[in-house]
């Protein structure tokens, strides 16, 4: 009887979940073990420098910070820095933001903290970028000829297209639409409509619309690569790249966790001593 109000807590909490919205696309999970593997991080750094750093800068990232993932100044200079930058410089790009805006419609964002910037309470930034970079498909209707399943009408083209090989894409979207009545009179009806868009490798699309009697609104997609091996290799390369981006967004993270272990260990001892001291002082209090 005393605890009879407890049902109110779950009841109200369940009410809170009414109509909980989620990210439209189900994101693939980034293989997080790549984030702690030095070799993977180095390969990610190479991909970053070769593929991203032409348009995107990382203006908070100093070249010699790459020491932390096991590269020395010589390697950095020989394999990573193009042009006349020094290892103490930050990773900036020569492209002027104004030009970039003209070319792409939007200046490519700085990538120094991009993984953290894409974190939300619903999903991790690593998963988002991992899915985004592997989610390009040919679409003739866009400016660049590319489109993306995560970020519709993205200004960025598919940087891995040569290595990935041609891919066909199937996008299935189920949503409520207003359907005009067949006789053209009266108000439109809300119907669940499934739209399947099939993009061939050149970006030509075939649309297929059907009205559904039941089902749930949502979005799904699938790719059919011409060369599955090449596509899988790009998946692995992107996983390494995301690992690098993740590392770059907080290079001190590993050290932070190491310090944390010691801090917690100290605090356990501290609390133990506190417990003992407290017991000694309070022993005689009646």
Partner 1 sequence: MGLHPTQYKGLLGWIDARMPSLMIAFRTHMLEYYAPKNFNVWYFFGSFALMVLVIQLVSGILLAMHYKPDSNLAFWSVEFIMREVNGGWFIRYMHSTGASFFFIVVYLHMFRGLLYGSYRKPRELVWIVGCVIFLSLMAESFFGYLLPWGQMSFWGAQVIINLFDSIPLIGRDLSVWIRGDYVVGDATLNRFFSFHIVLVPLALIGLVVAHIFALHDVGSNNPDGIEIKDHTDANGRPLDSIPFHPYYTVHDLYGLGFFFTAYSAVLFFAPELGGVFLEGNNFIPADPFQTPTHIAPLWYFTPYYSILRATTSEFMIWLGLGTLFLGVLTYLRVRPGPWRLVVAVFTFVVFVLMTVPQVRLDPKLWGVILMALSTTVFALLPWLDQSPVKSMRYRPGWHKAVLGVFVTAFVVLGYLGINPPTPGRTLVAQVCAALYFGFFFLMPWWSRMGTFKPVPARVTFAAH
* Residues lying near partner 1 in the complex (CB under 8 A): 1-2, 4-6, 8-9, 12-13, 15-16, 18-21, 59-60, 62, 65, 109, 112-114, 116-121, 125, 249-252, 256-257, 259-261, 263-264, 267-268, 270-272, 274-275, 277-279, 281-283, 285-286
Is 228 or 274 the residue whose CB approaches partner 1 more closely? 274
Kindly state the smallest distance separating residue 275's Cβ from partner 1, in Å. 6
Contact between 70 and 244 (Cβ < 8 Å): no
Is 158 or 249 the residue whose CB approaches partner 1 more closely? 249
Q: Among 181, 201, 197, which residue's Cα sits nearest to residue 189?
A: 181
Is 71 or 107 the residue whose CB approaches partner 1 more closely? 107
* Three-state SS at 179: strand
Is 20 or 94 the residue whose CB approaches partner 1 more closely? 20
Kindly state the smallest distance separating residue 198's Cβ from partner 1, in Å. 29
How far apart, in Å, are the Cα atoms of 126 and each of 35, 96, 107, 259?
Answer: 10, 28, 22, 24
Kindly state the smallest distance separating residue 94's Cβ from partner 1, in Å. 20
Kindly state the smallest distance separating residue 57's Cβ from partner 1, in Å. 12
Contact between 156 and 104 (Cβ < 8 Å): yes
Exposure string over 87-111, b if 16+ CB within 10 A, otherwise e:
beeebebebeeeebeeebeebbebb
Token output for 29: 């999970």
Is 46 or 116 the residue whose CB approaches partner 1 more closely? 116
Kindly state the smallest distance separating residue 1's Cβ from partner 1, in Å. 7
Question: Which own/partner pairs from 64-70 qualify as long-range (CB within 8 Å, at least 24 positions apart)?
Answer: 64/88, 65/251, 68/247, 68/251, 68/254, 69/38, 69/41, 69/42, 69/45, 69/244, 69/247, 70/38, 70/41, 70/42
Is 56 or 65 the residue whose CB approaches partner 1 more closely? 65
């Amino acid at each position: 009887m005393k605890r009879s109000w407890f049902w109110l807590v779950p009841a109200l909490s369940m009410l809170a979940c009414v109509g909980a919205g989620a990210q439209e696309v189900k994101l693939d999970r980034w293989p997080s073990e790549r984030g702690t593997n030095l070799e993977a991080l180095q390969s990610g750094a190479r991909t970053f420098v070769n593929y991203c750093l032409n348009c995107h800068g990382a203006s908070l990232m100093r070249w010699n910070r790459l020491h932390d993932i096991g590269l020395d100044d010589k390697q950095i200079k020989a394999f990573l820095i193009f042009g006349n930058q020094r290892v103490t410089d930050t990773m900036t790009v020569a492209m002027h933001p104004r030009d970039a805006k003209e070319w792409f419609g939007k200046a490519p964002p700085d990538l120094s903290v991009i993984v953290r910037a894409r974190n939300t309470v619903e999903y991790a930034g690593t998963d988002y970028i991992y899915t985004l970079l592997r989610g390009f498909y040919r679409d003739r209707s866009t400016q660049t000829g590319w489109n993306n399943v995560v970020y519709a009408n993205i200004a960025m083209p598919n940087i891995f297209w040569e290595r990935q090989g041609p891919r066909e894409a199937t996008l299935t979207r189920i949503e409520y639409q207003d359907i005009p009545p067949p006789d053209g009179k009266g108000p439109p009806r809300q119907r669940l409509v499934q739209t399947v868009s099939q993009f061939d490798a050149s970006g030509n699309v075939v649309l297929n619309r059907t009205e559904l009697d039941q089902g749930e609104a949502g979005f799904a997609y699938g790719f059919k690569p011409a060369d599955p091996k090449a596509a899988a290799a790009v998946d692995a390369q992107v996983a390494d790249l995301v690992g690098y981006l993740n590392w770059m967004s907080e290079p001190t993270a590993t050290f932070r966790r190491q310090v944390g272990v010691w801090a917690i260990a100290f605090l356990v001892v501290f609390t133990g001593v506190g417990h003992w001291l407290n017991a000694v002082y309070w022993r005689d209090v009646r």
